[in-house]
Structure 1
Amino acid sequence: MNQVLDEIMIEYSSATEDKKGELNEQIKALKEMSNSFIEEWLLFEEKMDKFNEVHLELPKPTLSIMSKQENSFIQEINSDYFQKGLGYFKLLMYNQAVDHFNKTVSDHPEFLLSRVFLALSYLELGEKNEAYNHFQFVTSVSENDKINAISYNAMGCIQMFRKNVEKAEEYFNMAKKIDPALSFYSLS
């Protein structure tokens, strides 16, 4: 994925309109793959939690993108809206996910993970401006490196759709600088 996007970024500025159309389709496919990786990663975390609860009888582990404080916060709010939003998100029912994540964000604006999923849902619905605004908000207040890296990566993808290659590259580099260990970034 990284090599393909690197090649697209090099080729894009001098491409013909027809070629830009092809490159935009490739960017769209890369974004879908990136979203798939994020969803699979979250499903893996959920399965690991269930396995640990049933077989290891250990305290429930935290999601790796959340601090211990954030994890205790999610357990405190025990938001049905957030849990249902996650369910709808996993089922690719993004309109319903947006409704539930919006309610969670309204009730608990400090719960940034809900806002990230809200932004990802908007992105899946093609509402890039709305998604971008939420990702910008998250990066302006979050101290969580993984949440920020995910947000910058998504903002880079949105900038690529807007054909703003330089700004996209800036965001991809920010994501890579924050957390180079995550594999779904769009630069090598």
Structure 2
Amino acid sequence: MNQVLDEIMLEYPTAVNEKKRELMEQVKALKEMSNTFIEEWLLFEEKMDQFNEVHLELPKPDLTSAPKSQKSFVQEINNLHFQKGLGYFKLLMYKQAVEQFNHTVKEHPEFLLTRVFLALAYLELGENNEAYNHFQFVISVSENDKINAISYNAMGCIQMFRKNVEKAEKYFDMAKKIDPALSFYSLS
């Protein structure tokens, strides 16, 4: 696949009409193959994790005595769509990550970490309004200082994009107050 893409990259600048269209079709086919490989790889990783849990006798979390927030977290990290979303996010494939995180948010709206990753993916896609709405929601319901600090910091960055420096500074200050240990963007 890399070789074919290298050849396309060499040919494309000098190609005309029909040849350019043919090369673009090849690029689309490569992209589809790449997406298929990634999805298959994510499914393989999930099966490998399941095998390891059963046959390597890895310790499983005891959800009966775990606090509610810990139960939700364990359930969230075991959610297939969340795992796929994280895989896409790590591969910088934010559009696909958004699709997977949206599935998890619909199924489990209480999973705030998913919503944070969803907002971050939207931010990476330049969809600042969508990201901002999710960060606002997270802050309105979250009791987790780190999640709130990250959300306020991201909202500050969005306000900077909007050239609203005063509001951005307010959000950056709130993030620092909540969790001074995290490093944030700051105007000072």
Residues 85 and 98 in structure 1, CA contact (< 8 A), matched pair in contact too: yes
Tell me the amino acid that sits aligned with residue 171 of structure 2: Y
TM-score by length of 2: 0.62
For residue 53 of structure 2, what is the aligned residue in structure 1?
none
For residues 88 and 168 of structure 1, the distance between their equivalents in structure 2, rounded to whole angstroms, comes to 29
Question: Contact 1:175/1:185 (CA < 8 Å) preserved in 2?
Answer: no
The residue type paired with residue 72 of structure 1 is: K
Count of matched residue pairs: 129
CA shift for structure 1 position 187? 4.8
Larger RCO (CA under 8 A, 6+ residues apart): 1
Residue 118 of structure 2 corresponds to 118
| Code of the aligned partner of 1:177 | K
Runs of 4+ displaced beyond 3 Å: 58-61, 67-71
SS in 2 for 1:158: helix
- For 1:176 and 1:81, locate their aligned partners in 2 and report how far apart those are by CA, in whole Å: 32
* Residue 91 (structure 2) pairs with residue 91 (structure 1): yes
Structure 2: segments with no counterpart, 5+ residues: 1-57
Over the matched positions of the two proteins, sequence identity in percent amounts to 79
* Residue 68 to residue 60, structure 1, CA distance change in 2 (3 Å): farther
Q: Paired residue for 1:168? A: 168
C-alpha deviation, 1:70, in angstroms: 3.3
**What root-mean-square deviation, in Å, do the aligned CA atoms of Structure 1 and Structure 2 show?**
2.6
Question: In structure 2, what is the Cα distance between the partners aligned to 1:151 and 1:69?
Answer: 22
| SS of equivalent to 1:137 | helix
Contact 2:172/2:184 (<8 A) preserved:
no
Q: Which runs of 5+ in 1 are unaligned?
A: 1-57, 62-66
- Partner residue, 2:22: none
TM-score by length of 1: 0.62
- Structure with higher Rg: it is 2
* One-letter amino acid matched to 1:183: S
